Structure 1
Amino acid sequence: MMRKTIFWLAIFLAQCFYAQTSDQGIKSFRKNEMKSAAHKLGAGGNPNPNTLNYDLRYQRMDVSLDPAVQNISGSVTSHFIPNQNINSIYFDLSSLMTVSQVQYHGINLNFQSLSATKELKIDFPISISANVLDSLTINYSGSPTTSLLLNPFSTGVQNGTPVLSTFNQLFGAQEWFPTKVSLNDKIERFDFKITTPSQYNVAANGKLMSETSVPNGKKLTFWRTMYPTASYVVGISITNFVKLSSTIGNPPFPFVNYVYPNTAANTTSMTNIEWTKQIMATFENYFGPYPFRDEKYGHMEFLYNYINLETQTMSSMSSWEKYLIAHELAHQWFGNKVTCGTPGDLWLNEAFATFGEHLANEKLLMNNTEFLNYLLSEKNYCTSFTNQSVATEDYYSRGAYMVRMMKWVLGDAVFYQALRDYQSNPNFAYKYVVAQDLKGSLLQSTGKDFTEFFNDWVYGKGYPTYTIKWKQMGNQITFKASQSQSNASVSFFDMILPIKVTGNGGEVAYFALNNTSNNQYFTQSVSFPVASVQFNYEYQILEKNSTVTLDNTLGTAETDLDNFSVYPNPASYELNVKGVRKSVDYKIYFSDGKIVKEGVYQVNKPINISELIPGVYFLNINENRIKLLKK
């Protein structure tokens, strides 16, 4: 626990050195996003089992807010369907919010505020029937907390004018309104009815329904979203916004931006906001239609410096660099339409959103040389750590590179079609997902099982270092690929190796070698004399300090490479090895990297595996590594 605390503290302190160059700025942004992630993960998992017995269908927030005051007062009406008969109902709500009344069909209900668990428990006078739509209204007020690393409800100033903003990820909504923060139930429809002093404008999710003057110098603003929404991407921001409206997309839909006056006067910021139209067209081409076309897309400026948030339909922004605009827009697909179902699956949101930055750079912002330099910088950054995984430490840079490797493995056309299939699958669209859902969708779309890939590149840590040796004989070129790993969590990284061969006369050939075992040999046809071999020529994969060497001694191994095999596979009792000419040591590893059996292989005698439990194993024998399935 202390190690994790120190790690996140280091990330927090890193923001003090926010860089000025583009590349440093990207890294700093991601560090600050990881600071945000620390807040998300530190709040726990799906924290309240007491809210699992009903489906929250609709919420109407009717509150008064003044950006000059750290306070909220009003009511939230919730419509819900119990999935079993219930005598009480729980909402997630901080005890700093004082509940004055709970109304239910004209009567007041008994309730308890449970400060230790941030719950509001409401008791019904009689049992409520399952599968019947019901509703109640909670009246409350209070000053939301200002003591968290990232406060979900904050007031401050911009250019001397008060501003109020919210930041809910992942479980912050409970700090300022009663709702469900568990990652298992999206709110199907949400209405915002927010009364403010008349000089302020209110930005929120969905479609602006009305702005109405009310007595005492106040204004009532009504926003409505009809799309299922996770509570953590519910958001508002209030100040003297300049409201900018146009259209985006083809066919067009509303493009609405609420920005600070000094942003509206900044030519660079406005140019970048207008650029959103270009990246929207790109993402719609590769990811599928924008998921919230019936309402809008746009941005609301908010208080949280160096951090941005994928507020559904209206991203919350603190700065206007194009890569940030691309990242938050990509979240509308990966994070909002299809949403991580546990904190441990947060990479499903962030890896793909950061890959959106890759796509923006590749298609719109950089020429080929610049993009390759960007990839090299990202690769070097990812491989500067030996103890990070996508799932737990770096969903951003390493996560995006993992997605890039997925694209390399599948090929561009198959990869992007698989993403569109994932987005359009009715089991996932506008719902929560976990890693297994993505893996199953990829298998269905492409026929490829990504289990080993996820084990290595999502949950495994570190990176491989390759030693590539090659030799040409006539019209054939032989490669030997050897690999070491920087972290013991992965015994071997399965990967398709990118090879570029250049001839004496400038001829070029490309090979993709399916590397599934250590010291693996490959023979390919080549029609010209080879002058050089380049590995990972477009930084398709993560690796570090790999080497490529001409070796005219290749072919002297003690293994008959043309005839080497292990059979049967899958196997129940015995393994036969073909093509090994002498007695050699062997080791069998379980899929987690632990040695479960070792010994000396005797030529033409089987290896007994009857004592092994069913599962995935790896046999290392005579510089060969073979994946086994024990039945």
Structure 2
Amino acid sequence: MRKFYLLMLGFLISQQFYSQTPDENIEMKGLIAKEMNAFTKKMITYNINPNTLNYNLQYQRMDVTLDPAVYHISGSVTSHFKPNQNMASIYFDLSDLLVVSQVQYHGTDLTFQQLPTKEIKIDFPASIAANTLDSLTIHYSGAPLAGNAFSTSLQSGVPILCTLSEPYGAQEWFPTKQSMNDKMERFDFKITTPSQYNVAANGKLMSETLLPGSQKLTFWRTAYPTAAYLIAVAITNFIKLNDTMGSPPFPFVNYIYPSTNADPVSMANIEWTKDVMNTFETYFGPYPFRNEKYGHMQFKFGGGMEHQTMTSVGSWSKGLIAHELAHQWFGDKVTCGTWNDIWLNEGFATFGAILANEKLLMTHTEFKDFMLSEINNITSASDGSTYVPDAELSNVSRIFNNRLTYAKGAYILRMIKWILGDTVFYQALKDYHARPNLAYNYTRTSDFNVSLLQSTGKDFTGFFNDWLYGEGYPSYVTKWKQTGNQILFKVSQTQSHPSVSFFEMLLPIKVNGTGGETAYFVLNHTSDNQYFLENVSFPVASVEFNYEYQILEKNSTVLQDNTLSVSSVDKEDFALYPNPAQNELYLKGMNKSAAYSIHAADGKLVRRGVYQPGRTIGISELVPGTYIFTVNNQKIKFIKY
């Protein structure tokens, strides 16, 4: 699984740079042309390789010799596996450019075949029973396919070896299982190198041992489930920086070039990682790999790669640091289960970088300018779905498409946040990656949808059908007229692509008064040419639509229209939504202030209040159960969970 992050002109470098670059995007990831050509035929096959479905890969130990000055790998990988059915042979993904010399099994040699499909098939002397933990060792050597999965180069004249395996490169340098249905529970690196080099890798550094002949054995171990494409090493004359971060603290470990250590800007940005970690722990929950570490290992490529616990970086911009750190929750702890759902990795990480912009890097004005640039990027074409259809999986650049996978994927999350409110949304994100069936596992969009329903009581199926599986975006015309203390809106919508007939959405409206007053309304837009009547207590000077870029739209307009008639308003049904609800309720069909009460199912009064149009009713302090909401002699039953 190979992914190469291309730093495009206009990559995020500073908050000043953000505001000066209207077409800037959070991060530009793609694949260089030769890699796309090399792996095009593998994309559909390796979502799930059917030959590896008959076992679970429990553990791997890599014992290899590597020298950054020599393009070569030799050694062995021991794999512990558990068949889920009786099994007479086993397959591993492995490039046929690497020569397997021996397969050892309980002290004997097994017969094997290296296949042109980049697999090794190994036959057992007798069938292994289902659910029997077993192991074997593959000895191999050779020069891996040239590219990013395994690469040597120079930094300041010193040899460096590094790996970057997304999406399908792990098999280029070690035998493993790349199907996106089975993470390894544990992985050990035992890497022998010339003693002048330091080895960085996933997990926790267990030991470094000097060997005869000016050699060194470095032992890293990760005990968290890990996808094959997130296994990585980097080797050169690194300077090792050992620090702590978080509360309570855990290791913050960086392996950097000597030239980076001498650069105060890079060092300041590395230190800034602590700030963004604190922010992400606040909004996303505790860092998922606290028992090991977080850190960076520098590598030869421009950009970065979210290798679990040890991000590989080629530069030190804050946007890059934030994006890759967000991946530790979204992409590493929970990992997209197919490349169709790559937005679950990249859209979420892009949203994380946006969060860092909002909370740490930008003023309010700068952030609004940045979000407008994101909208302009997403709407620069009228088609394309964030979900990657099977027919497009052969195009690697389509999978890692900045406009659709990264930017629109992040905006989908921004709109969910707008619909739910910040408190409910961020709790739902924490719930998503913490659920026992999802944590440290592969996930699909359907899993995220179910998790949202469990957390919020709201079904986002229709939303995902429009925004994720559908293509394009809406444009709105909002007409308004003030009559006394009321303001009438009429909203129409057109769609940029025929795959979506109508985008149902809560519309953000800001009303500005002639004396500087403001009022905010949320219009539940469910049909074209829909009317809304709201109360406003001051003379209206202007109306703003999508005033904080809460939703994705393009070329929308707002017009004052004195021909609108209040008699045209369709009376909406009186209702509370969402129902069931966790923290907030919206009241539909009530356009004026009114006293309300909430009673428990046994008739006990638990709340009195005054409803204000356009504002939510907070219920977070209520004990889960059934309640009766009463306003203007109308009663509605709702469930608090």
TM range (shorter): 0.7 to 0.9
TM-aligned CA deviation for residue 47 of structure 1: 4.5
CA–CA separation in structure 1 for the residues paired with 2:31 and 2:557: 33
CA–CA separation in structure 2 for the residues paired with 1:417 and 1:273: 28
The AA in structure 1 aligned to 2:317 is E
Counterpart of 2:596 in structure 1 is none
CA–CA separation in structure 2 for the residues paired with 1:78 and 1:267: 43
Counterpart of 2:475 in structure 1 is 465
Counterpart of 1:83 in structure 2 is 84
TM-aligned CA deviation for residue 63 of structure 1: 0.1
Task: Tell me, yes or no, if structure 1 residue 512 matches structure 2 residue 522.
Answer: yes
Distance 1:295 1:368, change over 3 A: same
CA–CA separation in structure 2 for the residues paired with 1:427 and 1:527: 51
Counterpart of 1:309 in structure 2 is 305
Counterpart of 2:75 in structure 1 is 74
CA–CA separation in structure 2 for the residues paired with 1:73 and 1:67: 13
Counterpart of 1:625 in structure 2 is none
CA–CA separation in structure 1 for the residues paired with 2:545 and 2:10: 34
Counterpart of 1:57 in structure 2 is 58
**How do 1:533-548 residues align onto structure 2 when only pairs under 5 Å count?**
533-548=543-558
CA–CA separation in structure 2 for the residues paired with 1:440 and 1:563: 29
CA–CA separation in structure 1 for the residues paired with 2:282 and 2:573: 45
CA–CA separation in structure 2 for the residues paired with 1:26 and 1:83: 50
Counterpart of 1:597 in structure 2 is none
The answer to whether the Cα contact below 8 Å between 1:60 and 1:190 also exists between their aligned partners in 2 is yes
TM-aligned CA deviation for residue 370 of structure 1: 1.2
**How do 1:191-230 residues align onto structure 2 when only pairs under 5 Å count?**
191-230=188-227
TM-aligned CA deviation for residue 32 of structure 1: 3.3
**Could you report, residue by residue, the CA deviation over 1:260-295 in whole angstroms, capped at 9, with x for unpaired residues?**
111111100000000000000000010010000000
Counterpart of 2:108 in structure 1 is 107
Q: Unmatched 5+ residue regions in structure 1?
A: 1-10, 566-631
Counterpart of 1:365 in structure 2 is 361
CA–CA separation in structure 1 for the residues paired with 2:312 and 2:559: 51
The AA in structure 1 aligned to 2:571 is D
TM-score scaled by structure 1? 0.84
Helix, strand or coil at the partner of 1:353: helix
Distance 1:488 1:34, change over 3 A: farther
Worse-superposed segment, 392-401 or 272-281: 392-401
TM-aligned CA deviation for residue 221 of structure 1: 0.2
Q: Unmatched 5+ residue regions in structure 2?
A: 389-400, 575-641
The answer to whether the Cα contact below 8 Å between 2:240 and 2:254 also exists between their aligned partners in 1 is yes
CA–CA separation in structure 1 for the residues paired with 2:150 and 2:380: 36
The answer to whether the Cα contact below 8 Å between 1:14 and 1:28 also exists between their aligned partners in 2 is no
Counterpart of 2:426 in structure 1 is 416
**How do 1:597-616 residues align onto structure 2 when only pairs under 5 Å count?**
none
**How do 1:254-403 residues align onto structure 2 when only pairs under 5 Å count?**
254-305=251-302, 307-392=303-388, 393=401, 394-403=404-413
Task: Tell me, yes or no, if structure 1 residue 159 matches structure 2 residue 156.
Answer: yes
The AA in structure 2 aligned to 1:54 is Y
TM-aligned CA deviation for residue 151 of structure 1: 2.7
TM-aligned CA deviation for residue 321 of structure 1: 0.4
TM-aligned CA deviation for residue 19 of structure 1: 6.1
The answer to whether the Cα contact below 8 Å between 2:58 and 2:185 also exists between their aligned partners in 1 is yes
Counterpart of 2:143 in structure 1 is 143
Task: Tell me, yes or no, if structure 1 residue 561 matches structure 2 residue 561.
Answer: no
The answer to whether the Cα contact below 8 Å between 2:22 and 2:369 also exists between their aligned partners in 1 is no
RMSD of aligned Cα (Å): 2.2
Helix, strand or coil at the partner of 1:453: helix
The answer to whether the Cα contact below 8 Å between 1:41 and 1:343 also exists between their aligned partners in 2 is no
Counterpart of 2:607 in structure 1 is none
**Could you report, residue by residue, the CA deviation over 1:459-502 in whole angstroms, capped at 9, with x for unpaired residues?**
22221111000111122111111011111121111111100001
Distance 1:336 1:273, change over 3 A: same
The answer to whether the Cα contact below 8 Å between 1:76 and 1:137 also exists between their aligned partners in 2 is yes
1:525 paired residue among 495, 519, 535: 535
**Could you report, residue by residue, the CA deviation over 1:119-154 in whole angstroms, capped at 9, with x for unpaired residues?**
1000000111110100000000010001xxx53101
Counterpart of 1:122 in structure 2 is 122
**How do 1:87-98 residues align onto structure 2 when only pairs under 5 Å count?**
87-98=88-99
Counterpart of 1:483 in structure 2 is 493
Helix, strand or coil at the partner of 1:396: helix
Counterpart of 2:600 in structure 1 is none
CA–CA separation in structure 2 for the residues paired with 1:382 and 1:26: 10
Helix, strand or coil at the partner of 1:418: helix
The answer to whether the Cα contact below 8 Å between 1:477 and 1:526 also exists between their aligned partners in 2 is yes
CA–CA separation in structure 2 for the residues paired with 1:201 and 1:563: 68
Counterpart of 1:48 in structure 2 is 49
TM-aligned CA deviation for residue 388 of structure 1: 2.6
Counterpart of 1:171 in structure 2 is 168
CA–CA separation in structure 2 for the residues paired with 1:349 and 1:181: 17
The answer to whether the Cα contact below 8 Å between 1:205 and 1:311 also exists between their aligned partners in 2 is yes
The answer to whether the Cα contact below 8 Å between 1:500 and 1:508 also exists between their aligned partners in 2 is yes
The AA in structure 2 aligned to 1:66 is D
TM-aligned CA deviation for residue 30 of structure 1: 3.1
Counterpart of 2:438 in structure 1 is 428
The AA in structure 1 aligned to 2:346 is E
The AA in structure 2 aligned to 1:61 is M
Distance 1:95 1:18, change over 3 A: farther
Helix, strand or coil at the partner of 1:171: coil
The answer to whether the Cα contact below 8 Å between 1:15 and 1:28 also exists between their aligned partners in 2 is no
2:247 paired residue among 234, 247, 250: 250
TM-aligned CA deviation for residue 324 of structure 1: 0.5
TM-aligned CA deviation for residue 15 of structure 1: 6.2
TM-aligned CA deviation for residue 31 of structure 1: 3.2
TM-aligned CA deviation for residue 162 of structure 1: 0.5
**Could you report, residue by residue, the CA deviation over 1:234-276 in whole angstroms, capped at 9, with x for unpaired residues?**
0100000010010010000000000111111110000000000
The answer to whether the Cα contact below 8 Å between 1:85 and 1:127 also exists between their aligned partners in 2 is yes
Helix, strand or coil at the partner of 1:32: coil
CA–CA separation in structure 1 for the residues paired with 2:315 and 2:412: 27
Distance 1:64 1:86, change over 3 A: same
CA–CA separation in structure 2 for the residues paired with 1:344 and 1:262: 40
CA–CA separation in structure 2 for the residues paired with 1:163 and 1:34: 21
TM-score scaled by structure 2? 0.83
2:461 paired residue among 423, 430, 451: 451
TM-aligned CA deviation for residue 399 of structure 1: 1.2
TM-aligned CA deviation for residue 217 of structure 1: 0.9
Aligned residues: 549
The AA in structure 1 aligned to 2:478 is I
Helix, strand or coil at the partner of 2:466: helix
Q: Once the two structures are aligned, what percentage of the paired residues are identical?
A: 64
TM-aligned CA deviation for residue 48 of structure 1: 1.7
Helix, strand or coil at the partner of 1:184: coil
TM-aligned CA deviation for residue 27 of structure 1: 4.2
**How do 1:565-604 residues align onto structure 2 when only pairs under 5 Å count?**
none
Task: Tell me, yes or no, if structure 1 residue 552 matches structure 2 residue 562.
Answer: yes
Distance 1:444 1:204, change over 3 A: same
The AA in structure 1 aligned to 2:557 is T
TM-aligned CA deviation for residue 555 of structure 1: 2.3
CA–CA separation in structure 2 for the residues paired with 1:193 and 1:502: 66
TM-aligned CA deviation for residue 556 of structure 1: 8.0
Helix, strand or coil at the partner of 1:452: helix
Distance 1:501 1:301, change over 3 A: same
Helix, strand or coil at the partner of 1:339: strand
TM-aligned CA deviation for residue 90 of structure 1: 0.4
CA–CA separation in structure 2 for the residues paired with 1:189 and 1:16: 36
Bigger relative contact order (CA 8 A; separation at least 6) = 2
The AA in structure 2 aligned to 1:303 is K
TM-aligned CA deviation for residue 14 of structure 1: 8.5
Distance 1:98 1:14, change over 3 A: closer
Worse-superposed segment, 32-41 or 406-415: 32-41
